[in-house]
A and B are shown apart, each in its own frame.
Chain A
Amino acid sequence: MLLRHTPEKITERKSLTINPAKTCQPIGAMYASLGIQGCLPHSHGSQGCCAYHRSTLTRHYKEPVSASTSSFTEGASVFGGQANMLQSITNIFSVYDPEVIAVHTTCLSETIGDDLPQITKKAKTEGKIPEGKSVISASTPSYVGSHITGFSNMVKSMAMVAEQTGKKNRKVNIIPGWVEPADMEEIKRIVKTIGVESILFPDTSGVLNGPLSGEYAMFPKGGTTMDELRSTGDSIGTLALGEWCSADAARWLDKSCHVPCSVLDMPFGLMATDRFIDALRIIAGVTIPEEIVNERGQLVDMISDMHQYLYQRKVALVGDPDQLISMTEFLVSLDMHPVHIVTGTPGKKFEKRIREITKDMPYEVNVKAGGDMFLLHQWIKNEPVDLLIGNTYCKYIARDEDIPYVRWGFPILDRQGHQYFPTVGYKGGLRLLEKILGELMDRIDRDATEQKFELVL
């Protein structure tokens, strides 16, 4: 037993987090920054933060992740990090020549109170930022919220690049939230198929799922361009996917540039995708093309074909709020029973939303925002489940408790595919179902007696 010290008996913990279901803000900001074309993310803090974030993102994507750091020493921590930041800006533009540097803070620079907008302004006046290049920044203290908060804060800083020319560009801003590059690609395909012109930001497709060709480009061709970001202020509206990841940026555009916004759930599963597609239809005033209708039909078809394997199967889930909300809704729509749901990201409204989604279920759901995987494991020990969905760290629970397990979320350090195959939209729904069914049916085969072992399932 690898988690042999986890007791079944649940005791209250006030101060000790064990096996967290979240990490800190800066990594989210770094991931979001990678979705800007020609952008070098920069971590304003000690160099360890940057090393850890790069390592984790690299392990998750198996792709190069470039990011620089202010490399604070004890001196900088006492006297402030302005000199390190200014020196960084000079060095970065001379050596790496990005279009834009996206700076995020760390607990170190936040605790000592470094003021990034002021430092950036100083760099500008001192001519350290070359003509046509930009430096944007987000405040991402690690001791507030989670990696999701950091992502959201950087996405908001991206929106703050917006300019208003007074002339609308007939485009819809789409903020996909923290989803995989493959998901961003799929969202673009759906939007294009429906016939809506859009600006998707951030967009990590083409950045973190690049080809191997014998050439290395530090700044790959993918990503939202700075010009596109500037023109988000002229868009006709914004669709923000996910309250936690995307809403702040959308509301800022609404308030500051009068670009109206709708906040939707992330389009995972049947119903959330339905709402997303319908929103696009209404905004663009188009009829949904047969191609998309057909994809929906295929997903419904698979649900009906395989319903017997899904019906009332108990599921434990751990991950990030926006993703879990849509996933829980999807599981409920499949007549599955999501019984234990944990996110590490704080926010009581998450628990409320999950309770709403599961209100008609014949059981009381266990849900916790600001929880950890230790608690989830204890819940599972008290009420076993048929399926576990979560990031790579769940493999220890899955092994100890012998539970079928689908890897979904961040980070996934031991399997491939998330970079290339989407789980958003109807097609993504099919893939999720395929993964879930694969696990459940492998288990049926594994556990069947020789008599009951069947060719056709």
Chain B
Amino acid sequence: MATTTNKKPVPWDPAEVKEELLKKYPPKVARKRAKQILINEALENETPEISANVRTIPGIISMRGCTYAGCKGVIMGPTRDIVNLVHGPIGCSFYAWLTRRNQTDAGTDGENYMTYCFSTDMQDQDIIFGGEKKLATAIQEAYDLFHPKSIAVFATCPVGLIGDDIHTVTKNMKEKFGDCNVYAFSCEGYKGVSQSAGHHIANNQVFRHIVGENDEVKPGKFKINLLGEYNIGGDGFEIDRILEKCGITTISTFSGNSTYDQFASAHTADLNAVMCHRSINYVADMLETKYGIPWIKVNFIGAQATAKSLRKIAEYFGDKELSETVEKVIAEEIPEVEAVSRDVRTRTEGKTAMMFLGGSRAHHYQELFNEMGMKTISAGYEFAHRDDYEGRHVIPNLKVDADSRNIEEIEVEADETRYKPRKSKEEMKALEDAGYKFKETLIIDDLNQYEAEKLVELMKPDIFCAGIKEKYSVQKLGVPMKQLHSYDSGGPYAGFKGAINFYKEIDRLVNSKVWSYMKAPWQENPQLSATYCWE
């Protein structure tokens, strides 16, 4: 085990930590941040009202990205047979090129554009004279080269500013081709306050342009859509393995290793199992309204959470045989997981973690840490909304501010012919989960670099989880940091096999010898001895 020379257990009081975090800010910034930092304990774990999904403070080094990143990077990026064409200067497409570790598989049809990066590479003359012509030619060139089923166009900041009508261009191209669905996303980076707006825009357009395009009835008795699972590090492959073993058919995944046809057929499933609620809840809602497919929250992060989610799905279908298969699968898978967790726990029990992730993942990963006997002492989200912190019951009371108003809400009605309610309201109510609760003491929305550094310094966690930008400043302090956006080099962490991977990875990180090498021997014992003699 690693020696922890410069680490003593730190007695900290959440109110003091909060005060310390706010101390250095100018008064206006401090007031705003105070509403985004919550002390949970006093309210007995009922998450109190938090200020979330609000503007990032200019000049403060935020973890957040932009709307384009949420739309192209997160939701549409992991699809494999759609040509994702970015309309803008080169950078936006370049940075979203293979960097999120979404795994894909070309499948039997052999189509996989994941490894490609497409851009109109707008130049100054396009900014001055407009880029619509260039976009149309680029779409044509992509069509001629690849003959894909579908081409998606993404707007970057200047596109909205110069007023390129990307929706008309794509509509015309779609009509011209006849055999290729072309549509566009107005996901300019400046919209909204974070990636979150981009998720919403992606959800809307996928629903508007793709879902419902294929009515063909797919084989399978228990058909679900897996929403909000992006196959980072192969998570989706592990979940697919488990579902298949249980006899559950996945009609579509939104959107890890997904295909155009999966989206097009999503309305033929009978249940939406929602993983990352923040990024995909809009599609879930719209599928329910238009086609009558109910949705439930599931969580395949953590072995117990996986078992629970499988049972929840089985309960939904109310089929005895399915329930038995699910129990059989759980019984088969759990022993190996528990053997590893028993071993790992001897080294991880009582250790502490901090997690600052996207919009749903901190809830998910606290399960895995619990399974290892580790306590999450502080957590928060980069781009969550209040309902992610406090539960969906707050949705009717959410204030719609100027930034949210700019994001289109599409009106969806029940489909005349295809609406088919699967469960009654009462049945669904019985299935409803109370939702996940944060059990941490200190909850912080839109954490920034300065606060992260302070938190680590004051609370000295054994591990810190966030993204690549935060990784090395935390590690410089001698605290291991695990990326839970793209998993560093690891994964899968979902499902049963994923839990095992995660236990081992966290064990490796918190117990690595490297954290004991921070000081050289002469720095630990700096006394000088004025002699060259060996005695």
List residues of chain A with CB under 8 Å of any chain B CB.
2-5, 7, 11, 13-20, 22-27, 42, 45-49, 51-56, 58-59, 62-77, 84-85, 87-92, 94-96, 106-108, 111-112, 141-144, 146, 210, 212-218, 344, 374, 393, 396, 413
* Most A Cβ at <10 Å: residue of B56, B98, B189, B514: B189
Rounded to whole Å, the gap between the CB of B281 and the closest CB of chain A is 22
Q: Is B57's CB under 8 angstroms from A71's CB?
A: yes
0 or 1 for each of B87-101: is its CB under 8 Å from A? (1 = yes): 011111111111100
Q: Is B118's CB under 8 angstroms from A48's CB?
A: no
0 or 1 for each of B39-66: is its CB under 8 Å from A? (1 = yes): 0000000000000000111111111111
Q: Is B90's CB under 8 angstroms from A22's CB?
A: yes
Give B469's nearest chain A residue, CB to CB.
A54
**Contact flag A75-B162 (CB < 8 Å), given A88-B59, A212-B475, A214-B6:** no
Tell me, yes or no, whether B79 is within 8 Å of chain A by CB: no
Rounded to whole Å, the gap between the CB of B519 and the closest CB of chain A is 7
- The contact sample of 28 A-B pairs, CB cut-off 8 A, is A3-B116, A15-B134, A16-B142, A18-B119, A20-B121, A22-B90, A46-B67, A46-B157, A48-B92, A52-B69, A55-B99, A55-B468, A55-B469, A58-B469, A64-B473, A70-B59, A74-B190, A74-B403, A77-B161, A87-B59, A90-B59, A108-B190, A111-B161, A142-B89, A143-B124, A143-B127, A144-B123, A393-B98
Give A45's nearest chain B residue, CB to CB.
B157
Tell me, yes or no, whether B108 is within 8 Å of chain A by CB: no
Q: Is B450's CB under 8 angstroms from A108's CB?
A: no
* Bound complex: CA A68 to CA B57 (Å): 10
Q: Is B472's CB under 8 angstroms from A91's CB?
A: no
Q: Is A88's CB under 8 angstroms from B58's CB?
A: yes
Flag the segment in B22-30, B301-309, B332-340, B370-378 that touches A. Answer: B22-30
Tell me, yes or no, whether B205 is within 8 Å of chain A by CB: no
Tell me, yes or no, whether B513 is within 8 Å of chain A by CB: no
0 or 1 for each of B1-39: is its CB under 8 Å from A? (1 = yes): 000001000000000000000001110010000000000
**Contact flag A62-B123 (CB < 8 Å), given A4-B112, A48-B69, A214-B518:** no
Rounded to whole Å, the gap between the CB of B83 and the closest CB of chain A is 9
- Knowing that A5-B111, A143-B122, A374-B116 are A-B contacts, what are 6 other residue pairs whose CB atoms are under 8 Å apart, sorted by A's residue number? A16-B118, A18-B119, A71-B59, A73-B191, A91-B29, A108-B161
Q: Is B93's CB under 8 angstroms from A20's CB?
A: yes
Q: Is B91's CB under 8 angstroms from A26's CB?
A: yes
Q: Is B94's CB under 8 angstroms from A23's CB?
A: yes
Q: Is B477's CB under 8 angstroms from A51's CB?
A: no
Q: Is B57's CB under 8 angstroms from A58's CB?
A: no
**Contact flag A24-B94 (CB < 8 Å), given A143-B122, A212-B518:** yes
Q: Is A47's CB under 8 angstroms from B56's CB?
A: yes
Rounded to whole Å, the gap between the CB of B26 and the closest CB of chain A is 5
Which residues of A are found within 8 Å of B60, using beta-carbon distances? Answer: 68, 91, 95
Tell me, yes or no, whether B492 is within 8 Å of chain A by CB: no
8 Å CB interface, B265-299 against A: none
* Bound complex: CA A97 to CA B111 (Å): 51
Contact for B58 among A70, A94, A141, CB less than 8 A: A70
Contact for B157 among A65, A108, A212, A344, CB less than 8 A: A108
0 or 1 for each of B131-167: is its CB under 8 Å from A? (1 = yes): 0001101100110111000000000111011100000
* Bound complex: CA A396 to CA B112 (Å): 13
**Contact flag A46-B190 (CB < 8 Å), given A16-B120, A20-B119:** yes
Contact for A59 among B99, B106, B474, CB less than 8 A: B99
Which residues of A are found within 8 Å of B168, using beta-carbon distances? Answer: none
Which residues of A are found within 8 Å of B24, using beta-carbon distances? Answer: 94-95
* Bound complex: CA A22 to CA B477 (Å): 34
Contact for A46 among B29, B121, B189, B402, CB less than 8 A: B189
* Bound complex: CA A53 to CA B26 (Å): 27
Rounded to whole Å, the gap between the CB of A348 and the closest CB of chain B is 15
**Contact flag A68-B158 (CB < 8 Å), given A17-B118, A213-B518:** no
Which residues of A are found within 8 Å of B346, using beta-carbon distances? Answer: none
Which residues of A are found within 8 Å of B127, using beta-carbon distances? Answer: 107, 111, 141, 143
* Bound complex: CA A56 to CA B56 (Å): 21
Contact for A73 among B158, B190, B449, B519, CB less than 8 A: B190
**Contact flag A91-B59 (CB < 8 Å), given A72-B190, A108-B189, A143-B124:** yes
* Bound complex: CA A72 to CA B469 (Å): 20
Give A109's nearest chain B residue, CB to CB.
B157
Rounded to whole Å, the gap between the CB of A218 and the closest CB of chain B is 8
Q: Is A20's CB under 8 angstroms from B472's CB?
A: no
Tell me, yes or no, whether B110 is within 8 Å of chain A by CB: yes
Give A27's nearest chain B residue, CB to CB.
B91
0 or 1 for each of B476-488: is its CB under 8 Å from A? (1 = yes): 1110000000000
Q: Is B402's CB under 8 angstroms from A75's CB?
A: yes
Q: Is A95's CB under 8 angstroms from B25's CB?
A: yes
Which residues of A are found within 8 Å of B468, using beta-carbon distances? Answer: 55, 58-59
Which residues of A are found within 8 Å of B88, using beta-carbon distances? Answer: 107, 142
